[in-house]
Amino acid sequence: MNTKIHIDFENFTFQAKREFDAPVSLVWRAYTEKALLDQWWAPKPWKTETKNIDFRPNGKWVYDMVGPDGERHGAIQIFKEIVLKNTFQELMPLLMNREILMNLCLWQLGKIHSCKPRTEH
């Protein structure tokens, strides 16, 4: 895996580019299917527990991040625009009238596949 990260503090954007040695279809599934998302979304030693995922425009992903001592933090992400197996945009409402907008784009680079999330708030 090869990862590049760019943070623009002035414009409140974060951009990461990661290359995977995996088919685009598998990387897409890792972002859109409960069983796969729950395996990797949380930073270790935390875990993700998806309560519901409705992967369609204006559908929601409702989940908890669960700490090693049982501490739980709930989150909701709202799927906006979706282009199957290529791109999706999701919105994460936050406290104090702030939101995070994430755009995910996948494309094939020869035998390597790239994932480029961009986050704004």
**Greater pLDDT, 33 or 19:** 33
Task: Return d(Cα 116, Cα 3) in angstroms, integer.
Answer: 10
**pTM of the predicted model, to two decimals?**
0.76
Check residue 93 and give its pLDDT: 77
Is 3.30.530.20 the CATH classification of the domain at 17-120? Answer: yes
Here the tokens at position 86 are 């290529």
**Where are the domains positioned within the chain?**
17-120
Confidence of residue 118 (pLDDT cuts 50, 70, 90): low
Check residue 121 and give its pLDDT: 47
Using omega within 30 degrees of 0 as the cis cutoff, is the peptide bond preceding 93 cis?
no
Task: Return d(Cα 8, Cα 6) in angstroms, integer.
Answer: 7
Give residue-wise pLDDT tens across range 26-78.
Answer: 888 998 999 999 999 999 999 999 999 999 999 999 999 999 999 999 999 99
User: For the residues 91-107, what does the mean pLDDT come to?
Assistant: 75
- Short-list 72, 78, 36, CA closest to 54: 78
